[in-house]
Amino acid sequence: MKIGAPRETRPGERLVAATPTTVAQLVALGYDVAVESGAGSEASFDDASYVAAGASVVGHDEVWASDIVTCVNPPADDDIARLRSGATIVSMMAPAARPDLVQAFWHQGVNALALDAVPRISRAQALDVLSTMSNVAGYRAVIEAAEAYGGMFAGQVTAAGKTAPAKVFVIGGGVAGLAAIGAAVSLGAQVRAFDVRPEAGEQIESMGAEFVQAQAAQQEVSSDGYAQAMTDEQERLTAVMYAQESAWADIVITTALVRGSAPRTITADMVAAMRPGSVVVDLAASGGGNCELTVPGSVVVTDDGVTIIGWTDLASRLPKHTSQLLGTNIVNLMKLLTPGKDGQIVLDMDDVVQRGMTVTLGGEVLWPPPPVQVSAAAPAPVAAAVSAVDPVVAARLAAEAARRQSQRRLATYGLGAVLLGLAVAFSPPAFVGFFTVFVLAVFVGYYVISNVSHSLHTPLMAQTNAISGIILVGALLQIGSDDWWVTSLALVAATVASINIFGGFLVAYRMITMFRKDA
């Protein structure tokens, strides 16, 4: 079968659905690949590179006559008419918002697979085009902000004085938000971020940002993966927090987009309170914008000197790498649809991934798809109804339980103090000095390690390896002692330290290998 990759016709689009690298992978699956002349020119891929990869370069009509056509954006009406009955079209379609497009595919008798309808399950992550585009958009948002911002992201200390780092506030801890956080942190900015999902806090902190704690404004997540609707009180508290953080920040990056719609997070009053020269990058501009003053597809500068960037093509502004990532998503899809690696597409509607992204098939409209069962585990049994408890009684019981716990804690501390006093009173004088050093080392080690940033955990691992090396040397010196008790402790210490040293170096080597270009 032949796969065709046409040139994108949407004004300003620079992406292409196939690159020379992905063409070679499709050819290895047994397909003939046809690329429209000039399809990759905006992404720095010339026709000669496609030919060298095994593709044929053809005209517009011929590429749309292929058995399978893959493109970035939904095809225009005249291109749909060029598809032959029984052909397969693979692209982003937004079928939930484009019923006219679904009807056009059905009327033409083609099989339509929506790249932006891939089920959000682990097995389908390699096909997830939305995550790919969001990741690139988050990175590009920081680049756009850096260009519009009138200062450096990283703080500088020079002979002429010092400058403070840029302050960045990111709204949303999803794929786009985390990508923006990572880019801003790598440039040296001071980054704070918020997400309505409390479980996103750990991910935000792992990227080197500070998670804004607003417990009353955070929500539980519904079964479909989206945050539940806010109460009026939650909306009020969230608005207060957004106002405080936007006034603090030099750059605000918003990423909140729910089912294609952008909730309002930054009001005109909040923008007015920002310092002149500040920047707002609205990644949700395609859904109307999170900022009240966003104009989709444009850049606005307010009377107070705040720049609001509402580009809707951020991923397309990095066409070379975005096309490569998007093309890899399509290759992974074709691997799923070509189990025999013989160049023959096989659509299996019993596969939840294929069924979830199939819009039309064999003259039938299959959109919307049935719900995806995320877990194969049996549903949890329904808990028996519990009778209501008097709040006064509940409060009294809770107070009593807290009092008993406090008494047990005091008793434990008292017993520990007595045992420690006995140990000091009946031990040799040298023991007191050794024990003091041990206690101080425990306290110092705890407070030092607990306050280390996530981004420094790998260097910290190397430091602990050095400490374990000192322990190993000390243990080896004591193994020859005449006291069997000292020898036993030295043997245990040497064994544990060796495990820590060799295990730490293996983990560090594995992590460093991940960042090598030739890995």
Q: Active-site residues: which are they?
A: 120, 125, 128, 131, 226
CB under 8 A, 24+ apart: contacts of 179-182: 179/134, 179/135, 179/136, 179/137, 179/138, 179/139, 180/138, 180/139, 180/141, 180/142, 180/253, 180/255, 180/283, 181/138, 181/207, 181/208, 181/209, 182/139, 182/207, 182/208
Work out whether strand 307-309 and strand 299-301 pair parallel, antiparallel, or are unpaired.
Answer: antiparallel
| Alpha-carbon dihedral sign for residues 344, 349, 353, 355 | positive
Burial annotation 26-54 (CB, 10 A radius, 16+ → b, else e): bbebebbbbbbeebbebbebebebbeebb
Tokens describing residue 331: 């290759």
**Are the C-beta atoms of residues 204 and 211 closer than 8 Å to each other?**
yes
Q: How far apart are CA 400 and CA 435, in angstroms?
A: 38
Give the Cβ contact number of residue 191 at 10 Å. 28
- Which residues contact residue 48 at a Cβ distance below 8 angstroms, ignoring those fewer than 6 apart? none
> DSSP secondary-structure letter at 291?
B
DSSP, residue by residue, 215-278: GGG---B-TTSSBPPPPHHHHHHHHHHHHHHHHH-SEEEE---BTTB----B-HHHHHTSPTT-
- Is residue 273 classed exposed, middle or buried when 0-12, 13-18 and 19+ CB atoms within 10 A define those classes? middle
| Alpha-carbon dihedral sign for residues 319, 5, 49, 33 | positive
